Amino acid sequence: MKNAIKSTVKRGRPVNPNSERQKRLKELEAKRKKGLLKRGRPVDPNSERQKRLEELEAKRKNGTLKKGRPSNPNSARQIRLAELAAKKKANGGKMPLGRPKSTKLSIEKLDVKLVNGNTLGIIAV
């Protein structure tokens, strides 16, 4: 009896297909299938936002749309970046990395002594 097919009984209130609600739902389903069902708030094509969006879309297509805030060429950061670019150009496109080389001290004589009786101290003379 495990494989026996059980008859399914529709539960709940019976649906009247001739009711106003069912007719309206059927009309909405038909409009949805045809793509005629409008949803949401309609767009006003003459609004300021729509005009701005059209301008932005036109700029995107032309390739003239600039993103972000324009930089101030007189700001401290832009001046520093311009100086670094000039240095880079003067060095043939490469910037030296790290700190500059220091001059080496020439130590001629070292004096090794005991400090505090148990630690060594090296003193350059």
Amino acid at 92: G
Structure tokens at 50: 């729509």
Q: What is the pTM of this model?
A: 0.34
Distance between CA 25 and CA 13 in Å, rounded?
17
| pLDDT of 76 higher than 90 | yes
How many other CB atoms are found less than 10 A from the CB of residue 88?
13
- Write the pLDDT tens digit of every residue in 25-55: 999 999 999 988 888 898 999 999 999 999 9
| pLDDT of 81 higher than 80 | yes
